[in-house]
């Protein structure tokens, strides 16, 4: 068992207010929230549970009071979008909103903002790296000046690439080493490592000191389907850009990850942040009741191993 807070990313309850989410979380065994803070015009999400673009002292005080009322903390303020978007105007909008998230985190004494590196899908990895050195380093410096870590989730984001290839250049340890040089930290999510063939426990043992935040999501591999699609997933049969055809994200406990080993590795590494459930399980989605059931399943899986 490790002494960290159990949280969940609020994006799975995008239609609920932060007040209602906090009330439910406190009554159902959660210690904290990873607060989704996408802008209202986002192409990715409508989940905006903290209006960072219009944050003032009143909103800061109201947010503090709400969480205190329910005995909850904030594990991170998160906005996962493409920081290397090929359209420079859109990239500027993404960066400005990310800076607003950083300022909000500083005002609320939250040490972490969750984000992506992203990618220009029309350019090679090397070309993207050259762009990143120029346009992303100012973001990490801005965060550091505010006492905030920009923690990048290691999600490949295949839906951002026209052929389902990685759309977020932070999916492997090779790229982690590079993004650390830019000043980013790691938002470790083992679910992505599973289908990439990377051992989640080995990744922790080698990079545990660079983990600023942990997301808990599981992956179910359908071994009978990989013989048809291969590791790159559906090609001509990919109607949904996010559907590989041979693996599915699940809530913790319903996939292939050995959470006892993962939590043990985090303990050995000395991790002291939060573990935040990211609910993207299609089986337990579709209605609010199903989403809440999924969050309860995740809680029941992780609570025996995680305590505040």
Count of Cβ atoms closer than 10 Å to residue 100 Cβ: 21
Tell which residue, 264, 255, 254, has the closest CA to residue 304: 264
Tell which residue, 130, 149, 228, 142, has the closest CA to residue 187: 149
Instruction: Quickly list DSSP for 15-47.
Output: TS-HHHHHHHHHHTT--EEEEEB--TT-SS---
Cβ atoms of 249 and 280 closer than 8 Å: yes
Predicted model pTM: 0.96
DSSP 172: S
Q: Is the pLDDT of residue 291 over 80?
A: yes
Q: Residue 2: its pLDDT value, please?
A: 77
Query: Rounded to an integer, what distance in angstroms lies between the CA atom of residue 190 and that of residue 196?
Result: 10
Q: Residue 44: its pLDDT value, please?
A: 64
Q: Is the pLDDT of residue 183 over 70?
A: yes
Helix, coil or strand: residue 301: helix
φ and ψ of 276, to 5 deg: -110, 120
Task: Output the average pLDDT for the chain.
Answer: 96
Superfamily of domain 2-307: Divalent-metal-dependent TIM barrel enzymes (3.20.20.150)
- Residue 43: burial class (beta carbons within 10 Å; 0-12, 13-18, 19+): exposed
- In the predicted model, what is the mean pLDDT of residues 231-251? 92
User: What value does the CA radius of gyration of the chain take, rounded to a whole number of Å?
Assistant: 18
φ and ψ of 149, to 5 deg: -95, 130
The token duo for 121 is 């899908």
pLDDT band at 40 (very low <50, low <70, confident <90, very high): confident
Helix, coil or strand: residue 123: coil
Tell which residue, 16, 3, 4, 49, has the closest CA to residue 295: 16
Q: Residue 41: its pLDDT value, please?
A: 61
pLDDT in tens, 3-20: 899 999 999 999 999 999
């Amino acid at each position: 068992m490790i002494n960290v807070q159990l949280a969940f990313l609020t994006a799975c309850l995008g239609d609920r207010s932060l007040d209602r989410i906090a009330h439910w979380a406190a009554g159902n065994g959660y210690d904290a929230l990873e607060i989704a803070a996408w802008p209202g015009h986002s192409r990715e999400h409508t989940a905006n549970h903290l209006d960072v673009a219009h944050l003032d002292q009143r909103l800061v005080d109201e947010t503090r009071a709400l969480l205190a009322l329910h005995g909850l903390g904030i594990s991170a303020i998160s906005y996962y979008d493409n920081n290397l978007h090929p359209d420079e105007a859109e990239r500027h909008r993404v960066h400005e909103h990310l800076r607003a998230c950083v300022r909000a985190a500083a005002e609320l004494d939250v040490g972490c903002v969750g984000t992506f590196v992203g990618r220009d899908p029309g350019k090679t990895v090397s070309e993207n790296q050259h762009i990143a050195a120029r346009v992303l380093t100012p973001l990490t410096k801005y965060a550091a000046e505010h006492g905030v870590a920009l923690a990048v989730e290691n999600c490949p984001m295949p839906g951002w690439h026209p052929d389902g290839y990685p759309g977020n250049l932070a999916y492997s340890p090779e790229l982690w080493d590079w993004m650390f040089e830019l000043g980013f930290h790691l938002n470790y999510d083992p679910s992505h490592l599973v289908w990439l063939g990377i051992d989640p426990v080995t990744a922790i043992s080698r990079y545990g000191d660079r983990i600023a935040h942990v997301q808990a999501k599981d992956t179910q591999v359908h071994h009978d389907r990989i013989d048809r699609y291969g590791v790159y997933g559906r090609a001509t049969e990919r109607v949904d850009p996010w559907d590989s055809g041979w693996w599915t994200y699940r809530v913790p406990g319903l996939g292939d990850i050995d959470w006892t080993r993962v939590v043990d590795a985090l303990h050995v590494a000395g991790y002291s942040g939060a573990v935040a459930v990211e609910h993207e399980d299609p089986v337990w989605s579709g209605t609010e009741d199903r989403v809440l059931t999924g969050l309860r399943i995740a809680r029941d899986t992780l609570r025996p191993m995680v305590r505040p």
